[in-house]
Chain A
Amino acid sequence: MADIYHELVKTDIRHITVRHEQGAVHAADGYTRASGRVGVCLVTSGPGATNTVSGIASAYMDSIPIIVLTGQVPTELIGNDAFQEVDIVGITRPCTKHNYLVKKVEDLAGTLKEAFYVARSGRPGPVLVDLPKDVIRASASYRPIKNVQLRSYNPTYEPNFRQLPRAVRLIKEASRPMILTGGGVILSKASEELRAMARKIQTPVAATLMGLGAFPASDPLCLGMIGMHGTYRANMSSSECDLLIAVGVRFDDRVTGKVETFAPKARIVHIDIDPTSIRKNIPVSVPIVGDCKMTLQKLNALLDAEKFGDLRGERKAWLDQIGEWKATKPLKYIQKDVIKPQYVVEKLCEITEGEAIITTEVGQNQMWTAQYYRFDRPNCLITSGGLGCMGFGFPAAIGAQVACPDRLVVDIAGDGSIQMNIQEMATAMQYRLPVKIVVLNNCCLGMVRQWQQLFYDRCYAHTEMEAAPDFVKLAGAYGAVGLRASTPEEVEPVLRKGLSHPGLVIMDFVVEKEECVYPTVPAGAPITEMLLV
């Protein structure tokens, strides 16, 4: 890669040297989600390349367009088990949208152009380009390439015109409709159209983890998150609704619970750009392959032309029912004299007025964030949804902070997962990236411990993490600021102090150890069978 670096310093491309390649990919991912521009990471061959795999798989599951450029041994050595050689194209074939091995310098420019095109278009995803040393070293004259055309790849953006009226008819016939939004709405920037539709047809909106923020959490029609740790009202609504309009979702098992019992009374309209998402897990009445934004625009136009009666009146019974679910079974936790992690997230939301870019690690911290931080806008929650990749949040926060230097970026972490990429503290310090880390410290791998508590007779086999570092001292060792809160009264002052500091901060919250994420749906159960507080 030295040849690339030799040229890179002559350009105005912003380069961040991270401490671990996994951090590089997550940072590129975070950058992409925060900015909407494609993040790129550049790693060396062999172990450099293999270290990117978790990050690539995470971006793939969440459909995030990033480019990963890997070094490779010279073409004549490929296949010889050369030093730091690995078949990264072979390794990443199932977890990239597409990948390339460039064999001639003449193909380099075209391949890179194509890589960006493939990554961004259709259902987005990560693309890897493997660059043998001799190809990098060689020179060729650059001829700009205007348009990329691939005869084997033509994503469908425009929805089928026959399906839209069918969807409108179902909407008109429905008395208990519900919308489910996923990451696709955020990726296609369709939040506005979604809001318009929900208000037009007076229909409550639930979100998957990836779809949080697509519809404002503060809106009275918002049901919150659905699924294994979804709100009572979202899960009950999905079970009682007679029409489910699913936009940009793929009906992951964490969303549906037991598939056979998901939305048993509903006819389903499923809008997604990826035809393989439709009817993969859930049978649907009206499949619509297309870009979410374009489809919702057209659907809204058709709905505008329709005559609806007094929708508010017609929906009253349904919305009252949902209101009752919300009132009787709200998200809740019991405050004691130890810090409750939910309280920390609630306070953080209050102090930041819901305006921060939040990244999360994976596990309880992620679910409490999804439940207790109010996401009113898209692109504010950056989390490894599909892969559930611990160690994601902090490097992703670094990427988001690079993309949005003027925004407050907070990584909500657990003491387990923050240690998986803690080395990126040095990166944040070196580039003066003022990321704020909130550690919900329960001295264990909380989500697994929760399962052990609920389903394995409290046998906490190997989930305790007694020898965790002192995060305050650790922050100090990196030259950052470390703060700790051990009682509920200390939470707000620590948050206020930490968030107002202009540099990198770790805030260590010593929280209740045996706190569980509720609601919890046991694995494989219908999502209406929730364990509650």
Chain B
Amino acid sequence: MENDKGKRHILSLLVDNQPGVLSRVAGFFSGRGFNIDSLCVSETTDPLVSRITLVAMGDMGVLEQIKKQLNKLINVIKVMDFTDMEYVERETALVKMRAKPEHRAEILRMADIFRSRVVDVGSEFYTVEITGDKGKVNAFLRLVKHMGVKEIARTGVVALAREKK
């Protein structure tokens, strides 16, 4: 148990699509002193059901307790932990960065390498949309940092289990 301390877990929750449900889930984390690294909510194919994808850190014991407690919430229909499963995860970030004339070509090249796009062009700033897993987004941010990043907005991770091949 010791060596999985702080392991990153992606939890996917199916919940009733009602006001206050997000607050119950988020309140459960804050009330027990657990931190949420990222959280993303949206409707599913069933308009009565929403999916909450959240990322939290913790050892197996903590995560086991978190999952049981989340299941206990009346509005939570299902809790899945993708950690030990095959899954796909994606996150989108909008990165607004300084576009000095000498950097513009590099920005476009980086965008190309990372299969991302420039979605807004101003006289001084470019905004790049990049999608990928957390590692890819972080790598991009690391590489463009020296050019001056003004703002970033990240969606947080969404994930789905992979189907059997």
Contact = CB atoms under 8 A, between A and B. Distances in A.
Contacts of B61: 279
A104 B71 CA distance: 28
Nearest to A98: B74
A86 to B, nearest CB: 15
B62 to A, nearest CB: 11
A90 interface: yes
A153 B15 CA distance: 11
Contacts of B28: 94
Contacts of B65: 276, 279-280
Contacts of A93: 20, 23-24, 27
A22 to B, nearest CB: 22
A270 interface: no
B68 to A, nearest CB: 4
A274 interface: yes
Nearest to A99: B20
Contacts, number: 36
Interface string A99-117: 0010000000000000000
Contacts of A275: 68, 71-72
A120 interface: no
Interface string B58-98: 00010011001101101111000000000000000000000
Given A93-B27, A94-B27, A276-B65, A151 B74 contact: no
Given A98-B74, A152-B15, A89 B68 contact: no
B72 A276 contact: yes
A89 B20 contact: yes
Most buried by B among A90, A94, A118, A152: A152
A9 interface: no
B74 A152 contact: yes
A150 interface: yes
Interface residues of A, number: 17
Query: Is the interface on chain B under 10, 10 to 19, 20 to 34, or 35 or more residues?
Result: 20 to 34
A176 interface: no
B31 interface: yes
B129 interface: no
Interface string A265-277: 0000000001110
Contacts of A280: 65
B16 A152 contact: yes
A97 interface: yes
A160 to B, nearest CB: 15
Given A118-B74, A150-B74, A153-B74, A94 B23 contact: no
Contact of B64 (A90, A94, A279): A279
Contacts of B74: 97-98, 118, 150, 152-153
A179 B27 CA distance: 36
Contacts of B64: 279
A118 B76 CA distance: 14
A103 to B, nearest CB: 9
A274 B72 contact: yes
Interface in A252-284: 274-276, 279-280
Contacts of B19: 101
Contacts of B23: 90, 93
Contacts of B27: 93-94
A121 to B, nearest CB: 11
Contacts of A151: 77
Contacts of A153: 74
A152 B31 contact: no
Contact of A276 (B15, B16, B69, B75): B69
Given A93-B24, A93-B27, A280-B65, A152 B72 contact: no
Interface of A: 89-90, 93-94, 97-98, 101, 118, 150-153, 274-276, 279-280
Nearest 4 Cβ contacts at the A-B interface: A152-B77, A98-B74, A276-B68, A94-B31
15 contacts: A90-B23, A93-B20, A93-B23, A94-B27, A97-B74, A98-B74, A118-B74, A151-B77, A152-B76, A275-B68, A275-B71, A275-B72, A276-B65, A276-B69, A279-B65
